[in-house]
């Protein structure tokens, strides 16, 4: 692992690091905020998964999360959204290829050699950071925005007991029935739609649910509502009687202005679950 930068931030340290990933076969970059309390021992960790076109940097500099994490005494991790490098396949469209890993393990060429973001987020990166930093492996929570909200929800429901809580900002809620999903799943996973269901949070919610609290915030003026399909996830939560909250925030769009407006709520939500 290499240290790219470390900056003092709200009494803690905001670092950026790179490492060779076994999952993707490439060098990967991530951001990690450690609060001041990490100097005295392991602290809880909140994962933040970002959306289409993002790198590790977007949420790290735009969400305004470090202030609230510092006050709560928790760490924040900001992974990248896809493998990078000249050898990595890409596409001219913004919603496929680099910056658009969709948190799945690709099985189709030319994506299969490197686009293994499911393994990267659930196995590769955790194995690294829990060895290298003062983080409490038994105290984890997860959140994300848009494509990252999709990833946070599907990962949380697929690893019972790993995360105390899950939240999402404007998640891609029904990718198997949306152009934000069907296009990418066909490219990454192939034509067999039976393999897609494990990466659809609305379907997982109906079938499996989450063994903890759930918080979803969706902007009522989001320009991508027809692609996100929030009604599918809200309906699945109601059908399963899932404990949690689904909030439509009037007038908010899909931007980081929306995320930064409610990030304090989400961190407080996760802190309550972690302490509980």
Q: Are 49 and 121 in contact (CB under 8 A)?
A: yes
Which one-letter DSSP state was computed for residue 143? E
Active site residue 254: yes
Three-state DSSP class for residue 39: helix
Residue 238, both tokens? 């109601």
The single residue of 56, 114, 199, 254 carrying the catalytic annotation is: 254
Give the Cα-Cα-Cα angle 90, 15, 213 (nearest 5 degrees).
Answer: 80
Question: Hunting for tokens 């690709």 — which residue is that?
Answer: 106
Continuous H helices in the chain: 57-62, 65-72, 117-119, 125-132, 147-158, 179-189, 201-207, 225-228, 230-240, 256-275
| Given 21, 164, 222, 270, the catalytic residue | 222
Residue 146 annotated as catalytic: yes
Contact 25, 47 (CB under 8 A): no
Identify the active-site residue in 50, 82, 146, 174. Answer: 146
Q: Which residues are catalytic?
A: 146, 222, 254
């Amino acid at each position: 692992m290499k240290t790219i930068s470390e900056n003092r931030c709200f009494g803690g340290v905001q670092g950026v690091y790179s490492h060779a990933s076994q999952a993707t076969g490439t060098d990967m970059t991530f951001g990690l905020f450690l609060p001041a309390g990490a100097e005295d021992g392991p602290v809880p960790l909140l994962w933040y998964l970002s959306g289409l076109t993002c790198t590790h940097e977007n949420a790290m500099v735009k969400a305004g999360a470090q202030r609230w994490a510092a006050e709560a005494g928790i760490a924040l991790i900001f992974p990248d959204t896809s493998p990078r490098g000249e050898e990595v396949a890409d596409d001219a469209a913004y919603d496929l290829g680099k910056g658009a890993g969709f948190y799945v393990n690709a099985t189709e060429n030319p994506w299969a050699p490197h686009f293994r973001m499911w393994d990267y987020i659930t196995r590769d990166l955790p194995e690294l950071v829990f060895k290298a930093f003062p983080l409490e492996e038994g105290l984890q929570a997860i959140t994300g925005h848009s494509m990252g909200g999709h990833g946070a929800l599907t990962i949380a429901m697929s690893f019972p007991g790993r995360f105390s809580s899950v939240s999402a900002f404007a998640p891609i809620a029904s990718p198997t029935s949306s152009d934000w999903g069907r296009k990418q799943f066909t490219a990454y996973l192939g034509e067999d739609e039976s393999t897609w269901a494990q990466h659809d949070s609305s379907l997982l919610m109906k079938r499996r649910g989450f063994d903890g609290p759930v918080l979803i915030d969706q902007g009522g003026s989001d320009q991508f509502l027809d692609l996100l399909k929030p009604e599918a996830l809200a309906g699945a939560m109601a059908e399963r009687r899932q404990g949690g909250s689904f909030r439509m925030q009037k007038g908010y769009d899909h931007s980081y202005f929306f995320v930064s407006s409610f990030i304090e709520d989400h961190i407080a939500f996760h802190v309550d679950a972690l302490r509980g």
